[in-house]
Amino acid sequence: MTEERTMKKSGIVAGTIFLVAAGMIVAQGVGGTAGQTERERALASLVEAERAFSRTSDEKGIREAFLAWLAPDAIVFRPTPVEGRPVYEKMDPANPAHLIWEPEVAEIAASGELGYTSGPYRLSPQRGAEPTRFGHYVSVWKKQPDGAWRVFLDIGVQHDRPASASPITDVAAPRPEREFEALSLEAHRDESGVVAKQMAEFDLAVGQRGYRKALAKLATNDVRVYRPGKFPVTGKDRIKDLVPGSAGRVDPPRGPTSPDARKAYQGRFQVHVAWSGDLAVTFGSSEQTKTNSDVETASFLKIWRKGLSGTWKICLDIEIPVPPEKEKTS
């Protein structure tokens, strides 16, 4: 999330997300129950992990919670992508800040080892005090070798106090369009290349037509969009509410435009694809040159879904600006 939620769950973190090409499932419980499919049980375990993460923060503090729930290779955004565990290892154990959150939407790959959550968070100066900061987080989770869920990526945005602070009892989740079989090692490598190519084509489209049109072309109908200072919006028709329409030049490309170019640009973004080949994430940083020659740097996370059409589409898009001073020190 933002630097603050990485102070607040990576700025704060953990959540759940959406999806509904074929409808939505509402997860009311989190424990395994008779009649649930393996995928539904995995999704329920992810939601419970998110809630347990927040409980740990509530009861034991931010530092201990993040060190308990971050994966060994976790990345948090402060606002540039950095290794997550060192951030919290350096945090003062006596810091009284109190951070809690809850998932409102969650999605999981058919293979059950990759998923994400998103929802609101609130940060208080100390436990029992009125919250002073509010926002939404997005967390990407990976199952570890022992089968436990741990946070792999954590990013978020700050916004105004929400109108309602009612507890979230139902977590929205996508209804899978179909089941996917596990990919072979070679097929998984090829699928990662396809996602990287889609990401590179998106960058080119931003420069030619602007971010708004580029996102609308590659987004799912239920895409969820996050920008600092704004409440998240859901739906392709709501992209215009958060994303400006002007064109700009993305320089350099954030990824390969051909297999031969892959090594030259792989540092600009990273790709992680589920072994079922139906869910993927790309994350990193970008530079966009505006028409007045000003250069804006941002960190981003995109979550991609592949449905029945076989085409990768963006189902979640979050970007946070990187101030010039952060560019110099990151």
Q: pLDDT of 177-230, one tens digit each?
A: 667 788 999 999 999 999 999 999 998 888 888 899 999 999 999 999 999 999
- Helices (H) then strands (E): counts for the chain: 8, 16
pLDDT value for 249: 46
Report residue 77's pLDDT band, with 50, 70 and 90 as the boundaries.
very high
Q: How many domains does the chain have?
A: 2
For residues 49 and 99, membership in a common domain is answered with yes
Contacts 24+ apart (CB under 8 A), 308-314: 308/177, 308/178, 312/194, 312/195, 312/198, 312/280, 313/218, 313/219, 313/220, 313/223, 314/202, 314/215, 314/218, 314/219, 314/220, 314/223
Q: Of 13 and 33, which is predicted with more confidence?
A: 33
* 130-134, 136-140, 185-189, 320-324: least confident range: 320-324
Across the strands, what pairs with 160? none
Out of 124, 151, 174, pick the residue that ends a domain. Answer: 174
192 and 253 part of one domain: yes
Q: Which residue has better confidence, 39 or 248? A: 39
Query: Which residues of the chain form beta strands (DSSP E)?
Result: 24-27, 70-77, 81-83, 98-101, 105-108, 114-124, 133-143, 149-159, 171-174, 219-226, 233-234, 249-250, 269-273, 279-289, 295-306, 312-321
Same domain, 229 and 313: yes
**Domain identity same for 152 and 189:** no
129 and 103 in a common domain = yes
Q: What is the mean pLDDT of residues 130-154?
A: 98
Final residue in a domain of this structure, among 114, 145, 174: 174
Domain annotation covers residue 6: no
How high does pLDDT run on average in the chain? 83
265 by DSSP, 3-state: which?
helix
Reported as a pLDDT band with limits 50, 70 and 90, residue 9 is: low
pLDDT for the residue numbered 258: 36
Residue 41 has a pLDDT of 92
Percent of the chain with pLDDT over 70: 76
Residue in 151, 130, 144, 120 with CA at minimum distance from that of residue 53 = 151
pLDDT at 250 over 80: no
How far is residue 225 CA from its own chain's centroid? 10
Q: Which residue has the higher pLDDT, 308 or 28?
A: 308
Whole-number pLDDT of residue 264: 28
- The pLDDT, as a whole number, for residue 102 is 96
